[in-house]
Each structure stands twice: as structure tokens, then as C-alpha cells.
Amino acid sequence: MRVLVKGAGVAGLTAAFEFATRGAAVAVAETRHALGGNASWFAGGMLAPWCERESAEQPVLDLGRDAADWWDAATPGQVIRAGTLVVAAPRDAGELERFASRTSGHRRVDEDEIALLEPDLAGRFRRGLLFLDEAHLDPRLAMAALHDKLAAMGAEFRFGADAQHGSGFDRQIDCTGMAAADDRLRGVRGEMLILRTPDISLSRPVRLLHPRFPLYAVPRADTQFMIGATMVESRSVGPVTARSMMELLGAAYALHPAFGEAEIVETGVGVRPAFADNLPRVETSGEIIAINGLYRHGFLLAPAMARQAADLVFNQDGTKELTHETDGQRRSA
Amino acid sequence: MFDLLGTTLPSRLLLGTAQYPSPAILADAVKASGTSVVTVSLRREMAGGRAGEQFWSLIRSLGVRILPNTAGCHSVREAVTTANMAREVFGTNWIKLEVIGNHDTLQPDVFGLVEAARILCEDGFAVFPYTTDDLVVAERLLGAGCKVLMPWCAPIGSALGPVNIMALRSMRGHFPDVPLIVDAGLGRPSHAATVMELGFNAVLLNTAVARAADPVGMARAFGKAVEAGREAFSSGMLEPRDVAVPSTPTIGRAVFS
């Protein structure tokens, strides 16, 4: 079976990998000239379905809980399983209670345990939540690893390719995100920073709760940190705004003053494709399967979407329907 | 039914559209609350011209009246510019006017508010000013041409509920004929019922619903509380007494102690 995957973001690469491992001959067409530049490139790379459940619906947890295993198997060595630490300033203790009551899979940690987990945060936060089963990865390294693995498996990459028609292919997988012609999709802009400082080190993503400016800091190699991310109802890909940068930096400084001395290595903007319920969809229309709407959950949910798409083709009975009902509807049902 | 500036509205609850887990949940919450007016903020989403158009279409498709706001504006000029953009984008002359004077408390800058209200009223806007419970400021806003007032009952997003009942009561008493909408600070349905029992015409809230564990259920609860509070106000509530009064007569019963 010959499969054409359109789009080399996280949705396209995971779908290509899932089809290739099930024996399909895969070609990946990407209009950009190299990996990167898309929303996936600017992602945090947190595999944190329990934390996300604070504001996301149940399917995000159901579909995302196996993501770390998928990435570990597909790209060995990329996944760091160190959990997520959630903290709040003493003034915002209510935010921590709120977060705890909306999520599961965590345990409370006190000042001493925070100091053991993240020595550089010692004395800064009195209480926190540890989500031990969560993981993270560096999206850029993971995408490169997946690309290399696919290439080694014989997949063909067409970068800088114009609109591809699917002649000669049995199936097309449309993973073009915001570029897809689907007027149900909207863009949710996310702005992020990469900071570099040797003065602080973290072993895991840390989320700082704040009533106005929640923040996460994800440690990366070479004393870098990904700081994110804003959520703006806009499809604008223009540069990060001064206000967003100020908010992100202010929150980072509140997490640890050492971030005040950090170098700003990069600012980035990604526009996440989202449906009205902020849940992803796998949809078929003839020989075309579309995977879209991953919203802020690209690395978390792309593996499950890729599996669903492959199941649609390879096991006819494996077509699990995604539920799109809201939590409220489920409760009253 | 509720008459607001010549428009008849079925509900006395106005709902904000920010901070919901998803637009789908927002749509369900609007439906469950029975609200007929939603507010929408322009400022942040304006980044990049009409790049927020997709979200606005979702708001328009809710089928309820839109009250655009100038949330996050810190100066008269900024607020006036935003109001003009809002009129163009949503095709309405209604504007909820916010001019923020303090970054921490999001307290209105009442001087800037009066100035911006005058400019916008002269330009044909129906201005809904987000103000404090200060009577003098309220007078000035009415003098600037506002036909409705939106006093806070506590700082935005604080969920504290009415912190100064006396001031709210006095405001109602001073302006018996002006539509008064309590805006900001409501945390739970009982807060909404309390201010409606004082005779306020409507309430506007956002965070208390959007950030609830189940926004749809909370929207429904607020809808009921607003209705209950209003009906209680119109039905004439019993004043507290210092003596117990039995609801069933005791004379004539077999045992009389």
C-alpha cells in the first residue's frame, strides 16, 4: 500500500511512522523546505495529560495517557519520565487547590520535597503537586529522530513540495493543520520563548500557577528552557508581542529570579489548529484521511490520532469513534 | 422580560466569553444560562488586524446580542479606539466601557472613564460603563450621557461577591430609574441572587462560570439564581424581625405550653 502524508508537523510524522511500521510505503510531502517552522516546532513537548485535564475534556486524558510510551518506542531516548511539578506562590494558594481539585494522578509535596525534587526551587514554594506519571521531550529533537527513523525505513520526504496530488497513492493522510481547507478550524496563537541560563537547572517541567499569567518552564539541553505559552484567539503568525513577552518573562522571573539574567535565545509563535471543542479529529472522505485540530496537544495526542488513522485502514473493526460530547453533556446523559 | 435601552431581553444575566475550556463549552454555557447578551473583548485578539475573526464568528453564531467591551484598556484614547473597532466588527453601538486605573486591582480609572464615556456618547454609542459603587462618579457618568451603569461588587475575577452591600443599596436608592447591572466580583449563584434581591436590574459575570469545574452546570445555576433573586425582589421580601412568629397558630391546639 502506498500512502502520501501531507504535512511534516507532529501529526504528519506520527501518522507516517504509524503507517510505515504497519508495512505501508510512505511518502511525506511538506511545503516548507525543512522540518520546523510549524506549530509543532514551537511546542512545549510536555506529555502531561493529567495536568491538561485541568481545562481539557476527558478524551485528552484518555487519548494522551499512552503518548509517552508511543514516543519512547518510536524515538528511544527522547522521552524523559520525571513527572511534572506544579507550584504556586503563597498568595495564590487557592489556585493550587483549584488545580488539585480538577485533576487526578498527583500527590501533594511540601517545601522539603520540592527542595529534593528541584534543588534550585528550594525555599521558594511551600506547597506543590507532583504528577509523577507525566513525561516530556524536546519537540525538535523528537521530530528529527522520527524523520531519521522514517528515512531509514525507506520513507520518502519531499520538502518544498507544492500541493501534491495523490495519483499513484492508495491513501492520502492530510495533516496540514491550519493550511487545511476546513472552515470549522480556528487558529489559537501561542507565543513562547527559549531562555538560556546556567544559573538554574530543572529536572522536569514546572508549572507556575497564577490567576492571570500561568506559565510553564520546560528544561532543555544546554541550559536552555522553553517558556510558554500564551493562548490568543487569533491566527496571526506575526512576531511575539511586547505584552506577551513581558507576561512570560514576568512569570518566569517569579518562578526563579535567575531567569531575569537569562539570555533570550529565541522567541517563537505557533498557530494551533483547533475545532470548537478543542478536541482533535480523524475523518475520512474517500481515499483521504484527515488528522487535524490537535490544538495545544500535538505531541500528546498525535500518537493516538495516528493509531486511529492507521486502524481505519488496516483493521476495519478497529474504528473507535472519538467522543465529542462535553463533560457537562456526559454528566447529564 | 427586561427592557434594556429599548431592547427587550428575556434574561437578566449577561455572560462574558473569555477563559472557557473551549468555544463549544462556551456555546453550551450560553444556552444553559438562558442569557441573551454576551460580552466579548477585542483588545487582545486584535493582534494582527482581523486575525481573531474566527473566534468572533463563533460568538456571532451563538445567536445572542453582543456587547463588545474594552477590557484591558488603560487610557481614554485606547478605550475610544477599541470602541470604534468594536462598532465596526460587530455592527452594534453598544459598548461596555472599561478604563483600568490600577493594574493589581483592575479598578476602573473613574476620571478616564467619565471622559471616555462623554466622547463615546457624543459619537452615538450606548455606553455601559464599568464603574465602582461611588455615587458621585455615577452622577458624572449619567451627566456624560450614559443611560445605564455597571457598578462592580468586588474586583474583577475575585469571586468575593458583594463586599459593600450598603453602597449597592444606596446606589439603587439614588438611581431608581437607571438600569443598574452589577458587573464583576460575583463568585457564586447566591451572590447573584443577593444583588438581584437588592433590586439591581441585571448581573454580568464571566470567570465564575468560565472557570468552574463544569461551566455549563454553573451557567445554568447562575441563570436560576438571577431569576430567583429578581422574582424575590418583585414579590416583596419579609423584613427580619426580632421576635419569633409561628407560621401555624398555637391557640386551640391540644397542648398549649
In a domain, A15, yes or no: yes
| B160 chain-A contacts, CB cut-off 8 A | none
Do A326 and B213 lie within an 8 Å CB cutoff? no
When divided into structural domains, chain A yields a total of 2
| pLDDT one-digit tens code per residue, A159-214 | 988 766 778 889 999 999 999 988 899 999 999 999 999 999 999 999 999 888 88
Confidence check: pLDDT of A328 > 60 = no
How far is Cα A28 from Cα A35, in angstroms, rounded to an integer? 11
Distance from CA of B216 to the nearest CA of A (A): 6
- Contact, A176 vs A54, CB < 8 A? no
Distance from CA of B167 to the nearest CA of A (A): 27
Instruction: Specify the CATH number for the domain of residue A298.
Output: 3.40.50.720
In a domain, A60, yes or no: no
Write down the pLDDT at residue B47. 47
DSSP B180: B
pLDDT band of residue B59 (cuts 50, 70, 90) is confident
Distance from CA of A9 to the nearest CA of B (A): 22
How far is Cα A185 from Cα A177, in angstroms, rounded to an integer? 9
Top residue of B25, B33, B57, B89 to mutate, by most chain A CBs within 10 Å, is B25
Do A55 and B21 lie within an 8 Å CB cutoff? yes
Interface of A with B (CB under 8 A): 55-57, 98, 101-102, 185-187, 189, 211, 232-238, 241, 274-279, 324, 326-329, 331
- Searching chain A, which residue's CA lies closest to the CA of residue B20? A55
Asked if A260 and A211 sit in the same domain, the reply is yes
How far is Cα A224 from Cα B256, in angstroms, rounded to an integer? 83
In a domain, A208, yes or no: yes
Asked if A301 and A257 sit in the same domain, the reply is no
pLDDT more than 90, % of chain B = 66
Asked if A175 and A280 sit in the same domain, the reply is yes
| A55 chain-B contacts, CB cut-off 8 A | 21
Catalytic-labelled residue, pool B31, B96, B147, B224: B96
For A202, the grid coordinates are: 530543572
Do B45 and A186 lie within an 8 Å CB cutoff? no
- Searching chain A, which residue's CA lies closest to the CA of residue B103? A212
For B75, the grid coordinates are: 487610557
Top residue of A58, A92, A99, A234 to mutate, by most chain B CBs within 10 Å, is A234
Closest partner residue to B28 among A211, A237, A328, by Cβ?
A328
Do B21 and A56 lie within an 8 Å CB cutoff? yes
Q: Is B31 a catalytic residue?
A: no
Strands A215-220 and A224-228: antiparallel
In a domain, A92, yes or no: yes
pTM of the model: 0.85
For B163, the grid coordinates are: 463586599
Write down the pLDDT at residue B44. 56
Domain with A235 in it: 84-132+186-274
DSSP B213: S
Domain final position from A234, A257, A274: A274
- Searching chain A, which residue's CA lies closest to the CA of residue B52? A234
In a domain, A287, yes or no: yes
Asked if A236 and A328 sit in the same domain, the reply is no
In a domain, A121, yes or no: yes
| pLDDT one-digit tens code per residue, A220-249 | 999 999 998 888 888 888 899 898 999 999
Do A331 and B49 lie within an 8 Å CB cutoff? no
- Searching chain B, which residue's CA lies closest to the CA of residue A58? B21
For residue B209, count other CB atoms closer than 10 A to its CB.
31
Asked if A252 and A192 sit in the same domain, the reply is yes
The Cβ-side half-sphere exposure at A93, using a 13 Å CA radius, reads 7
Computed over its alpha carbons, how large is the radius of gyration of chain B? 20
Do A186 and B54 lie within an 8 Å CB cutoff? yes
Write down the pLDDT at residue A326. 53
| A58 chain-B contacts, CB cut-off 8 A | none
Asked if this assembly's ipTM is beyond 0.90, the reply is no
Task: Return the HEC string of chain A.
Answer: CEEEEECCCHHHHHHHHHHHHCCCEEEEEECCCCCCCCHHHHCCCEECHHHHCCCCCHHHHHHHCCHHHHHHHHCCCCCECCCEEEEECHHHHHHHHHHHHHCCCCEEEEHHHHHHHCHHHCCCCCEEEEECCCEECCHHHHHHHHHHHHHHCCCEEEECCCCCCCCCCCEEEECCHHHCCCCCCEEEEEEEEEEECCCCCCCCCEEEECCCCCEEEEEECCCEEEEECCCECCCCCCCCCHHHHHHHHHHHHHHCHHHHHCEEEEEEEEEEEECCCCCCEEEEECCEEEEECCCCCHHHHHHHHHHHHHHHHHCHHHCCCCCCCCHHHHHHC
Asked if A127 and A164 sit in the same domain, the reply is no
Closest partner residue to A328 among B45, B157, B217, by Cβ?
B217
Asked if A207 and A197 sit in the same domain, the reply is yes
Confidence check: pLDDT of A9 > 80 = yes
Q: Which amino acid is at A18?
A: E
Confidence check: pLDDT of A149 > 60 = yes
In this structure, which long-range contacts are made by residues B248-254, counting pairs with CB atoms below 8 Å and at least 24 apart in sequence?
none
Domain final position from A228, A252, A274: A274
Q: What are phi and psi of B13, to 5 degrees?
A: -110, 125
Asked if A21 and A128 sit in the same domain, the reply is no
Asked if A163 and A295 sit in the same domain, the reply is yes
In a domain, A56, yes or no: no
Instruction: Specify the CATH number for the domain of residue A237.
Output: 3.30.9.10
Write down the pLDDT at residue A37. 84
CB pairs under 8 A between A and B: 77
pLDDT band of residue A142 (cuts 50, 70, 90) is very high
Asked if A111 and A177 sit in the same domain, the reply is no
Q: What are phi and psi of B210, to 5 degrees?
A: -60, -35
Distance of CA A46 to the CA centre of its chain: 6
Asked if A141 and A30 sit in the same domain, the reply is yes
DSSP one-letter string for B183-203: ES---SHHHHHHHHHTT-SEE
| B58 chain-A contacts, CB cut-off 8 A | 186, 276
Closest partner residue to A232 among B32, B44, B217, by Cβ?
B44
Return the exposure string of A193-232: e unless at least 16 CB atoms fall within 10 Å of the residue's CB, then b: bbbebeebebebbbbbbbeebbbbbbbbeebbbbbbbbbb
Asked if A105 and A191 sit in the same domain, the reply is yes
Write down the pLDDT at residue B128. 96
Do A232 and B47 lie within an 8 Å CB cutoff? yes
Write down the pLDDT at residue B246. 67
Domain final position from A253, A274, A295: A274
Top residue of B40, B50, B55 to mutate, by most chain A CBs within 10 Å, is B55
Average confidence score pLDDT of chain A: 91
- Searching chain A, which residue's CA lies closest to the CA of residue B53? A234
In a domain, A70, yes or no: no
